[in-house]
Structure 1
Amino acid sequence: MPINTRIDMGQTLTASVARRSKQVQDIVYNSTPLTSILRDRGRIKVKRAGGPELRIPVEFDKLTAQWFTGYDKIEITPKELLNSAVFNWSRVVAPFSLNGTELLYNSGEEEMIDLMEFYLDAAEKSAKETFEVGMVGDGTADGGRQMIGLGGAVPIIANTGTYGGIDRAAVPNWRTSTFNIVSGDVSGYTAWDVTTVRPIINRISLNRSRNGRYADLLIADALAYEPIDASFVAHQRIVSERLGRLGFTGLSYVTPAGPVDIIAAGGIGNVMPANTVFGIDTQGLAIYEFPGQSFVPFHPGNGMRPINQDAVAQGIVWSGQLVLENPLFSYRIRTTS
C-alpha cells in the first residue's frame, strides 16, 4: 500500500522538493566568490547533451603573420588551430530517504512538509559542501568520478599529464603555469612575505597576460593571504565593484596587467590547499551543466518507493563539469616548497 494515498499531499511534497531544488542552485553558486563571479559573467552554461562526453572546442595555436614587400614569398603553412577537449560528465547527488513510519507520524500537511524541509536542508548542505570540495579537487576522488576542479585544471606540474584528453607535454598553449616562490621561479624573490607579495603578483600578472587577458581573480588560502593583507595600508584596502555587488569581501589591487580581486579561502571545513594561490582568468573558465541536471530532484515527483520497503527515497542531483577552456593565463603560486 502506498505510503500516502492522498493525491494533494503527494503534490505538496513534489512542489516542496522542486521549490527547494531551485534554492539549492542559488545557494551553491552564490556560496563562493569564484562560482558567483562565473555566474555573474555568464560562465555557467548548459551544454546540449551529445552523448556520454562533454566536448569543448578549443583554440590551442595561432596563425603567424609575416612582414613582406614586393615579390617576397608568403609562407603559407597548414596549421591546425582548433581541436576538442573531451571531458566526462561528473555527477553528484545528495540523497536521503524517509520510511513509512516516519511519514505516518508526520501525516499532517505542516508536519510532513517540515520533515521534508529538514531533509532537504541536509541535502542542500551536503550538495554545497561536496560541490565546493570538487571545485578545488583534481578529479581523482571517488574513483575518478569527482568533478575536475582547480587541482586538475591548474596542476602543480604544468607540463605533464592530459587535460580534456589533450597532452599538456605536447601542446604548450594547453598548459597553465606554476611558480614555486622559494625555488626562485620568480626572478629575484625566494620568500613570500609582506615585502615581496605585491612585486611577485605584479611580475606574474604581467608575464601571464596578453592582449588584455590575464588572471583577474586570485584565490589564496589563509597562510598565503596573510602577507598579502598585511602588505596593504589602510587606504588601499578597497573592495572592487564586482566583489561588492556580489556580496563578498576581499582586496582589489591594480597590477601592470589590470585590476585583480584577491580573496581568502578558509574557515571550517576549508579544502583549499595550504600555502597556495590560484590565479584564475575567469573569462577562460566555465561550468558546463548537463541539460535539466542543475540541482534538481533525483527522482521524479516526491520520491522513489522501493518495491520491497515502506520508504521513499529522494535527493538533489547535479551533472556537469568545470572546464578551463583557455589555460594560458591561469596559474598556481606555491608560497613554500
Structure 2
Amino acid sequence: MAVNPDRNYGQILTASVARRSTDVQNIVYNSTPLTAILKDQGRIKTKRAGGPELRVPIMFDKLQAQWFTGYDKLQITPKELLNSAVYNWSRCVGMFSLTGTELLYNSGEEEAIDLMETYMDAAEQSVKEAFEEGMIGDGTADGGRQMIGFGGAIPIVANTGTYGGIDRASVADWRTSTFDIPEGDVDGYTAWDSTTARPIIEKITLARSRGGRYPDLIIADANSYAAISAAFVAHQRLASERLARLGFTGMTIITPAGPVDVIAAGGIGNVMPENTFFGIDTKGAAIYTFPGQEFVPFHPGDGMRPINQDAVAQGVVWTGQFVLENPLFTYRAITA
C-alpha cells in the first residue's frame, strides 16, 4: 500500500524538498568565512563534465623571461607548463525518513509542509556540520570518504605526501608552507603573544607573496586569535569591506603585501586544531561541485519507498571537493 496515494500531497512534498534544497546551498556556503568568500568571488565551480575523478588543470612551472640585444640567441627550449591535479569526488548526504503513520497524522497541506520543513531543517544542519568539519579535516574520516580540507591541503610537513596525485617532495611549487613559531621558523621570533602576533603575520604574509598574490585570509583557533585581538586597541580595529558585506565579525590587518582579514574559528563542535592559524590565498582556492549534485534531493520526487515498509526516505546530497589550485601562497602557522 502506498504511503499516501494522493497526487497533490506527493507534489507538496516534492516541491518542499526541491525548494529547501536550494536553501541548503546558501546556508552551507554562507556558514564559514572561507566558503562565503569563495562564493562571493565566484570560486565555487560546477565541473562541466562529470566522470569518476575530478581533474583540475594546473600550471606548475613558468616561462623564463630573457634580456637580449642584437644577435643574442633567444631561448626557445620546450617547457611543459600544464598538468592535472586529480582528486576523488567526496559525497555528503543528510538523510531522513518518515513513516506512513507520521504522514497519515500530518496529511493536511499545512501539516505536510510543516513536517517536511522540520525534517529538512535537520537534514540541513547535518550537512552543514559535516561540511564545516570537512573544511578543516584531512580527508581520512569515514574511511577516506570525507572532503580533503585544510588538514590534507595544508599539512604540517609541507614537503611530504601527495595532494591531487602530485608528489609534494618533488614539486616545490605544489607545497604550502608551515611556520612553527616556537621553533623559530619566523626569523627573530620564538613566542606568539600580543606584542609579536602582528609583526609575525606581516612578515609571513610578505614572505608568501608574489605579483599581487598573497594569503589574504587568516582563520585562527581561539588561542591564536586572542593574541591577535589583544595586539589592537579599540580605535585601531579595522574591518574590510569584504567582511562587512558578508556579515562576518573579525578584523583586518594592513600588511606590506596587502590587507589580511582575520577570522576566529570556534564554538560548539569546533574541529579547528589548537594553537594554529591558516593563511589562505582565496584566489588560489576553489570548491568544485559535480554536475547536478549541488545540494539536491537524494531521491527523485518526494522520496524512496521501501517495498516492505510503510515509509518514505529522502535527503539532500552534495558531491564535490575543496581544491587548492595554487598552494604556493597558502600556509599553516603553529603558535604553541
User: TM-score, normalised to structure 2's length?
Assistant: 0.98
Return the alpha-carbon distance in structure 2 between the equivalents of residues 207 and 223 of structure 1. Answer: 24
SS of the aligned residue for 2:2 comes to: coil
1:103 aligns with 2:103: yes
Return the alpha-carbon distance in structure 1 between the equivalents of residues 40 and 75 of structure 2. Answer: 43
Farther off after superposition, 85-94 or 58-67: 58-67
Aligned to 1:181: 181
What do the CA deviations read for 1:5-46 (whole angstroms, capped 9, x no partner)? 110000001001111111111111111111110000000010
Report the alpha carbon displacement of residue 76 of structure 1 after superposing the two structures with TM: 3.2
Aligned to 1:16: 16
What do the CA deviations read for 1:48-89 (whole angstroms, capped 9, x no partner)? 233101110000111112223333333333221100000111
Return the alpha-carbon distance in structure 1 between the equivalents of residues 236 and 85 of structure 2. Answer: 41
Q: What is the aligned length?
A: 336
Aligned to 2:262: 262
Return the alpha-carbon distance in structure 1 between the equivalents of residues 48 and 68 of structure 2. Answer: 45
Amino acid at match of 1:14: T
1:278 aligns with 2:255: no
Return the alpha-carbon distance in structure 1 between the equivalents of residues 10 and 22 of structure 2. Answer: 19
Return the alpha-carbon distance in structure 1 between the equivalents of residues 238 and 81 of structure 2. Answer: 41
Aligned to 2:7: 7
Return the alpha-carbon distance in structure 2 between the equivalents of residues 31 and 76 of structure 1. Answer: 49
What do the CA deviations read for 1:279-310 (whole angstroms, capped 9, x no partner)? 00000000001111111110011000011111
Aligned to 1:125: 125
Return the alpha-carbon distance in structure 2 between the equivalents of residues 190 and 79 of structure 1. Answer: 42
SS of the aligned residue for 1:259 comes to: strand
Return the alpha-carbon distance in structure 1 between the equivalents of residues 108 and 292 of structure 2. Answer: 32
Question: Retained in 1: the 8 A contact 2:253–2:262?
Answer: yes
Aligned to 1:140: 140
Return the alpha-carbon distance in structure 1 between the equivalents of residues 233 and 311 of structure 2. Answer: 60
Report the alpha carbon displacement of residue 225 of structure 1 after superposing the two structures with TM: 0.2
1:51 aligns with 2:51: yes
Aligned to 1:84: 84
Aligned to 2:153: 153
Closer, same or farther: CA 50–21 of 1 in aligned 2, 3 Å: closer
Return the alpha-carbon distance in structure 2 between the equivalents of residues 154 and 324 of structure 1. Answer: 9
Question: Retained in 1: the 8 A contact 2:50–2:291?
Answer: no
Report the alpha carbon displacement of residue 116 of structure 1 after superposing the two structures with TM: 1.2
Return the alpha-carbon distance in structure 2 between the equivalents of residues 137 and 77 of structure 1. Answer: 42
Return the alpha-carbon distance in structure 1 between the equivalents of residues 8 and 107 of structure 2. Answer: 12
Where structure 2 has 5 or more consecutive residues not aligned to the other structure, the ranges are none
Where structure 1 has 5 or more consecutive residues not aligned to the other structure, the ranges are none
SS of the aligned residue for 2:76 comes to: coil
Amino acid at match of 2:183: S
What do the CA deviations read for 1:256-279 (whole angstroms, capped 9, x no partner)? 000010010011111111111100
What do the CA deviations read for 1:97-126 (whole angstroms, capped 9, x no partner)? 111111112222222221111111100100
Amino acid at match of 1:39: K
Question: Retained in 1: the 8 A contact 2:137–2:150?
Answer: yes
Farther off after superposition, 239-248 or 73-82: 73-82
Percentage of pairs with the same residue? 76
Return the alpha-carbon distance in structure 2 between the equivalents of residues 65 and 257 of structure 1. Answer: 24
Return the alpha-carbon distance in structure 1 between the equivalents of residues 9 and 17 of structure 2. Answer: 12
SS of the aligned residue for 1:293 comes to: strand
SS of the aligned residue for 1:219 comes to: strand
1:39 aligns with 2:39: yes
